[in-house]
Amino acid sequence: MGALALCLAATACSAGDDSSSKGPTSEKTSATFGFTAAPDNLDFTTTDGAAIPQVLLDNVYQGLVKLSPDGKIVGSLAKSWTVSPDNKTYDFQLQPNATFSNGDKFTADDVKFSIERVKSSAWKISLKAYMDVVDQVQVVSPTEVKVVLKQPSNDWLFRMTTRIGAMFDPQGVTDLANKAIGTGPYTVSQFNRNDSVVLTARSDYWATKPKLKTVKFQYFSDTNAENSALLSGGIDGIIALQTPDTLGQFKSNSDLTVSQGTTNGEVVLSMNNAKGVFTNKALRQAVNYAIDRKALVKAAYGGYGSLIGSMVPPTDPWYQDLSNAYPYDAAKAKALIAQSGVKNPSVAFKIPNLPYAVSSAQVVKSDLAKVGITANISVLQFPAAWLDQVFTKHDFDMSIIAHVEARDIATYGDKKYYWGYDNPAVTKLLAEADAGTPQQQITDYQQVAKTLSDDAVSDWLFLLPNIEVLRKGLSGVPVNGLSESFDVSGVSWGSGS
């Protein structure tokens, strides 16, 4: 996941020596934020995972629409839009002065190019399927474009706030892994693989210019090094703190502030439904009963996570509390193992080397051992090794990962997705939910969540909180993690005025 802890700490400390960070907070023009999951490249069109859009979406690449801090869909490159009475045609009026960082003007032709490229073989990631509903893109004028859908879709405009809605310059896609050309307020001025990304504000940005001239995303494989960097002044904030048990040292520091928001990040104990022992429903149910999730959250995340029992966070309109569907019951787990007919089950438990996953896996392993299931833990480097073995090759029995993409319950309708769940009834419900009325979407999604729970497809361990520790004086930092992006365009020092 990057360099040695000592090197990371040294790199972070050097950030604090930037002359722009000295003096009164109102005079500072740079900030450095610490994260744990580093991007392996800059191409989110061919590389899964959240690390790349976290740094690039809304900051470097923009879409027609984006999510506001409270989760509402608002305009970005589209200044307005209308929807036809049959809910199939979206007519977007574009910002007339938007430009790419290479100087090219942004027009409706770029919208057509970008959407059609998602539907082509150029895009490789599974999320591209959300664009399948698009029938055609019509360029009306340089500042007007119509998108015609094959059938009504409640979900499509929301998906346009994610990476699949990012707008590209046809001249800027030759080396996406190393060079990002977008319409956003920042450009990538430095990319040190698995170590850091530095964003620099565009002097020619077409809209309101960001307050910070440079923003650094510093990545840490060692959370102790990350914490030390913040305490020593090497970084200015930790976003999505991975070690809540260390909060005491920050709360007692008068130079720091601690806040807690919410996320879309369901920490999922995934089971391979397509092959191996977990094709057996009774055994999957046994796993759900065997794990004491309340104790796990306390041990692995300081008690800060929320129990939800499904792939639906409370911020989604179709949320229902299913956290008590499988109360901790070791005796019932043992009975279900006997019912499954699987003798002395032993599973390949492949997890990423992320703090919450490693600590959660230890609790899961212990709980499963108490009921007679042996979990053989393998810790894989994230993102490359985990994405290759688990996500792509499906070479696992069980894993743990936080799924941070919004409204990702729909992944259970794709039998090719890494957990290999194949239920035509669920696939049908998801399709009907998308094409029906908004109320039908709510009803159908709730039924999907209930079916997934009954089938014990996964064990939804807890919902990640968004715990941030920031240096005093920083303002405009997103409190909630409801989008794929960490939008720094509104961050400033001082009052933010």
Can you give the pLDDT at residue 18? 42
Can you give the pLDDT at residue 486? 95
Q: What is the 3-state secondary structure (H, E, C) of 149-161?
A: ECCCCCCHHHHCC
Q: Are 270 and 311 in contact (CB under 8 A)?
A: no
Q: Are 393 and 149 in contact (CB under 8 A)?
A: no
Let me know whether 247 and 272 are in one domain: no
Let me know whether 402 and 296 are in one domain: yes
Residue 7 has pLDDT above 90, yes or no: no
Let me know whether 229 and 363 are in one domain: no
Let me know whether 307 and 450 are in one domain: yes
Least confident interval from 46-50, 119-123, 281-285, 292-296: 46-50
Alpha-carbon distance 328 to 459, whole Å?
12
Region 251-275: what's the mean pLDDT? Answer: 96
Residue 359 lies in a domain: yes
Let me know whether 354 and 283 are in one domain: yes
Residue 145 host element (H or E)? strand 144-149
Write the CATH number for 304. 3.10.105.10
Can you give the pLDDT at residue 247? 94
Residue 328 lies in a domain: yes
Alpha-carbon distance 6 to 249, whole Å?
21
Alpha-carbon distance 460 to 269, whole Å?
6
Region 385-414: what's the mean pLDDT? Answer: 95
Closest C-alpha to 482, from 57, 157, 68, 39:
68
Closest C-alpha to 374, from 350, 336, 347:
347
Closest C-alpha to 193, from 229, 226, 219:
219
Coil vs helix vs strand at 410: helix
Residue 219 lies in a domain: yes
Return all residues near 358 (Cβ < 8 A) that are at least 6 apart.
351, 379
Place of tokens 């409270």: 70
Let me know whether 435 and 290 are in one domain: yes
pLDDT 10s digits, 166-182: 999 999 999 999 999 99
Alpha-carbon distance 477 to 475, whole Å?
6
Residue 478 lies in a domain: yes
What percent of the chain has a predicted confidence (pLDDT) above 70? Answer: 94
Let me know whether 339 and 419 are in one domain: yes
Residue 139 lies in a domain: no
Confidence grade of residue 25 (pLDDT, cut at 50, 70, 90): low
Output phi, psi for 150, to 5 deg.
-70, -35
Can you give the pLDDT at residue 423? 98
Q: What is the 3-state secondary structure (H, E, C) of 238-282?
A: ECCCCCHHHHHHHHCCCCEEEEEEEEEEEEEEEECCCCCHHHCHH
Residue 158 lies in a domain: no
- Amino acid of residue 272: N
Least confident interval from 23-27, 70-74, 332-336, 389-393: 23-27
Let me know whether 305 and 239 are in one domain: no
Q: Which domain holds residue 199?
A: 186-262+466-493
Residue 186 host element (H or E)? strand 186-192
Residue 183 has pLDDT above 80, yes or no: yes
pLDDT 10s digits, 286-297: 999 999 999 999
Coil vs helix vs strand at 432: helix
Residue 21 lies in a domain: no
pTM attached to this predicted model: 0.82
Extract the tokens encoding 307. 């129990």
Let me know whether 245 and 344 are in one domain: no
Let me know whether 207 and 338 are in one domain: no
Residue 320 lies in a domain: yes
Beta strands 89-94 and 144-149: pairing type? antiparallel
Number of structural domains in the chain: 2
Let me know whether 473 and 460 are in one domain: no
Alpha-carbon distance 491 to 25, whole Å?
12
Let me know whether 223 and 330 are in one domain: no
Region 108-118: what's the mean pLDDT? Answer: 98
Alpha-carbon distance 387 to 35, whole Å?
19
Write the CATH number for 226. 3.40.190.10
Coil vs helix vs strand at 380: strand
